[in-house]
Amino acid sequence: MASSVISATQTSPLLQFQKRSTRTQSFQIVCMDYPRPQLESTINFLEAASLSSSFTSSSPPNKPLQVVIAGAGLAGLSTAKYLADAGHKPILLEARDVLGGKVAAWKDDDGDWYETGLHIFFGAYPNVQNLFGELGINDRLQWKEHSMIFAMPSKPGEFSRFDFPEVLPAPLNGIWAILKNNEMLTWPEKVQFAIGLLPAMVGGQAYVEAQDGLTVKEWMRKQGVPDRVTDEVFIAMSKALNFINPDELSMQCILIALNRFLQEKSGSKMAFLDGNPPERLCEPIVEHIQSLGGQVRLNSRIQKIDLNQDGTVKSLVLNNGIAVEADAYVIATPVDILKLLLPKEWKEIQYFKRLEKLVGVPVINVHIWFDRKLKNTYDHLLFSRSSLLSVYADMSVTCKYFCVAKVIYAVKFSLEEFRFPDPQDGYDNQIVKYKGSKEQEDFASEEDARDSRVQGCSRGYRVDYKSLKIQHMPKPTPEANPEAADANESFASISNGYRKEYYDPNRSMLELVFAPAEDWISRSDSEIIEVTMQELAKLFPDEIAADQSKAKILKYHIVKTPRSVYKIVPNCEPCRPLQRSPIEGFYLAGDYTKQKYLASMEGAVLSGKLCAQAILQDYELLTARKQRSKQTEATVV
């Protein structure tokens, strides 16, 4: 029986299917509601892919190295993943009882999630995007329209957009987006800023690096860009990138971000993860590491780095006193923790001494559940441009349910008409007609449709495409036996096929990054909520009042991070350490270490890869070291 090959790509929440020439391959859905941009052909993506494949392409080592890694944030997870890919044995030790570090999240008693930070994944994150692909979880990113949307403080409740047209390549799409927006930048300001950027275009990386000595504000003044632009436009970017204001942030940070985001067509396109990061992102990495013989242990805090007489690492000592010995050691904690762990014997070494300049910046992540659905919002990240808040999103809108049984969508489109499940069940309600459409022709016959139905069964579902009835298994796992399924359940009751962690059709949950937080980090939660509500009243003048006379707060969670990513003040760049330290067998990973992305998830993942690469490059040295220490042990005995 022939089966259909269907590739779904789309530009709206509705499905669009493209017909492929062959009808002999197995049924496949490429994209659903949130079409992934074409990233695979970019140079950066290919470079990142090539680095990934360097770990898997060489033959496994004769003697795998045991590598202890402290810290299961994205940097530590990435180090462990790529070492495991190369056939080595990472042991990842995390101090807390949760994975993810700055992407950690927790579930409250009502089953609602709250997080360390509101996290956005960009198209210009090649190593993160490769990682998702390598783990087979690309569909967990819910991509948004290619726009940047800013609140207008001078017009409460209104927004101004930078829309990147699909039809133009980079950087023209970005230039077009900037030129088309006249609400945030006047024409003379655009011209002034463009002239200011000319040296960056001509001078390239050398020019960008040379700007590290200036704050954003100083640089703008030097270029003759009016303070208004800094205070009203670049404030949003500074706070989003590093949680500080333009009078503190190094201009190099803005130039790097502009370069990364505007260089690729989809570089500034944003995606939300479809659920909480520890489970939806970190756990698949852990499963991967474990499947290759690596270990990941929670509640394992490193308390001390114990040294040999020659100043190299003897062991990492846990807070319960247990010493863990290995062939190589990686500290993937935040830089502030590393500084506390540094043995006194190392403190005068320039490589470590320079770390003094790198200090984590305080930030607060606020979550408020309201008693109603707020209307003045978008299915997107929003830049508040308020003095106390940075970016925010209505997570009940941006993070939709995710589908466990994707195949249902594909089968549905063979129907004359189908309905997205009802909002009451937590789904969009959308009537979609494919009758007579070109797309419908993809299913040439009932046989084809039936064949796809068989594929559906492998996920625990069976669809009667004629009656709109779905038989489903209580647990939609591949192991589920479709024959035992309940028959005749209606289409809207397939909730087992979906999970929603943030999505709510009736209530809004705003997640807001509160920054700069220096003056607020030690204040009480109620004070922070009070002032946040005052800011929200400006963003939602019709719906929110500071005294809750309009929307009422059902509950809130506040997560404070007194030392988050390193503060990118001028002249920090030379202080960022390479992943290989001057101490034999001792390495660093973390978003603050040297890599071409800023303090970000991409930076953390890349730092982990570079760390793993440095360890592999040192393989001979590390095995020789191991041999030497065995001989010493034998002599001592």
Ligand X SMILES: Cc1cc2nc3c(=O)[nH]c(=O)nc-3n(C[C@H](O)[C@H](O)[C@H](O)COP(=O)(O)OP(=O)(O)OC[C@H]3O[C@@H](n4cnc5c(N)ncnc54)[C@H](O)[C@@H]3O)c2cc1C
Size of interface with ligand X, in residues (CB under 6 A): 39
Binding mask 333-372 for ligand X (x = CB under 6 A): xx--x-------------------------x-x-------
| Residue among 335, 455, 356, 588 at smallest CA distance from 29 | 455
Nearer to ligand X, 283 or 543 (CB): 283
Nearer to ligand X, 114 or 461 (CB): 114
Q: Is 48 in the site for ligand X (CB under 6 A)?
A: no
Residue 523 CB, shortest distance to ligand X, in Å, is 17
- The tokens for 150 are 């800013």
- Give the span between the Cα atoms of 492 and 148, in whole angstroms: 34
Q: Is 561 in the site for ligand X (CB under 6 A)?
A: yes
Q: Which residues of 468-483 are buried (b: 16+ CB within 10 A; e: fewer)?
A: bebbbbeebeeebebe
Residue type, 474: P
Q: Which of 39, 93, 328, 612 binds ligand X (CB under 6 A)?
A: 93
> How many other CB atoms are found less than 10 A from the CB of residue 634?
8
Residue 447 CB, shortest distance to ligand X, in Å, is 47
Q: Is 116 in the site for ligand X (CB under 6 A)?
A: yes
Residue type, 204: G
C-beta of residue 220 within 8 angstroms of C-beta of residue 229: yes
Q: Which of 8, 332, 415, 551 binds ligand X (CB under 6 A)?
A: 332
Residue 113 CB, shortest distance to ligand X, in Å, is 15
| Residue among 72, 168, 107 at smallest CA distance from 367 | 107
Residue 209 CB, shortest distance to ligand X, in Å, is 21
Q: Which residues contact 453 (CB under 8 A, 6 or more apart)?
A: 411, 462, 463, 465
Nearer to ligand X, 39 or 470 (CB): 39
> How many other CB atoms are found less than 10 A from the CB of residue 2?
12
Q: Do you find a cis peptide bond into 570, omega within 30 degrees of 0?
A: no
Binding mask 276-305 for ligand X (x = CB under 6 A): -------------------------xx---
Binding mask 52-91 for ligand X (x = CB under 6 A): ------------------xxxxxxx---------------
Q: Which residues of 19-36 are buried (b: 16+ CB within 10 A; e: fewer)?
A: eeeeeeeebbbebbbbbb
Residue 499 CB, shortest distance to ligand X, in Å, is 22
Residue 213 CB, shortest distance to ligand X, in Å, is 24
Residues 119-148 that bind ligand X (CB under 6 A): 119-120
Q: Is 118 in the site for ligand X (CB under 6 A)?
A: yes
Q: Length of the chain, please? A: 637
- Give the CA distances from residue 134 to residues 285, 289, 617, in Å, rounded to whole numbers and listed in that order: 10, 12, 22
Residue 564 CB, shortest distance to ligand X, in Å, is 4
Residue type, 133: G
Nearer to ligand X, 96 or 507 (CB): 96
Residues 430-489 that bind ligand X (CB under 6 A): none
- Give the span between the Cα atoms of 382 and 100, in whole angstroms: 24
- Give the span between the Cα atoms of 605 and 127, in whole angstroms: 7
Nearer to ligand X, 365 or 414 (CB): 365
Residue 25 CB, shortest distance to ligand X, in Å, is 36
Residues 300-319 that bind ligand X (CB under 6 A): 301-302
- Give the span between the Cα atoms of 3 and 445, in whole angstroms: 10
- Give the span between the Cα atoms of 114 and 367, in whole angstroms: 7
Nearer to ligand X, 514 or 619 (CB): 514
Q: Is 600 in the site for ligand X (CB under 6 A)?
A: yes
Nearer to ligand X, 71 or 284 (CB): 71
- Give the span between the Cα atoms of 128 and 122, in whole angstroms: 9
Residue 632 CB, shortest distance to ligand X, in Å, is 28
Residue 45 CB, shortest distance to ligand X, in Å, is 16
Q: What is the DSSP track for 394-424?
A: EHHHHS--EES-THHHHHHTTSSEEEPPPGG
Residue 524 CB, shortest distance to ligand X, in Å, is 19
Nearer to ligand X, 94 or 212 (CB): 94
Nearer to ligand X, 565 or 610 (CB): 565
Q: Is 513 in the site for ligand X (CB under 6 A)?
A: yes
- The tokens for 495 are 């909730």
Nearer to ligand X, 543 or 602 (CB): 602
Residue 342 CB, shortest distance to ligand X, in Å, is 12
Residue type, 290: Q
**E strands in 373-480:** 382-383, 389-394, 402-403, 417-419, 431-433, 461-464, 469-472
- Give the span between the Cα atoms of 28 and 68, in whole angstroms: 40
Residues 562-591 that bind ligand X (CB under 6 A): 564-565, 590-591
Helices (H), 230-387: 235-242, 251-263, 277, 283-291, 335-341, 350-353
Q: Which stretch binds ligand X (CB under 6 A): 98-106, 129-137, 165-173, 574-582?
A: 98-106
Residue 435 CB, shortest distance to ligand X, in Å, is 42
Q: Which stretch binds ligand X (CB under 6 A): 94-102, 175-183, 474-482, 488-496?
A: 94-102
Nearer to ligand X, 385 or 406 (CB): 385
Q: Which stretch binds ligand X (CB under 6 A): 110-118, 480-488, 499-507, 518-526?
A: 110-118
Give residues in contact with ligand X (CB under 6 A). 70-76, 93-96, 101-103, 116-120, 301-302, 332-334, 337, 363, 365, 513, 561, 564-565, 590-591, 599-604
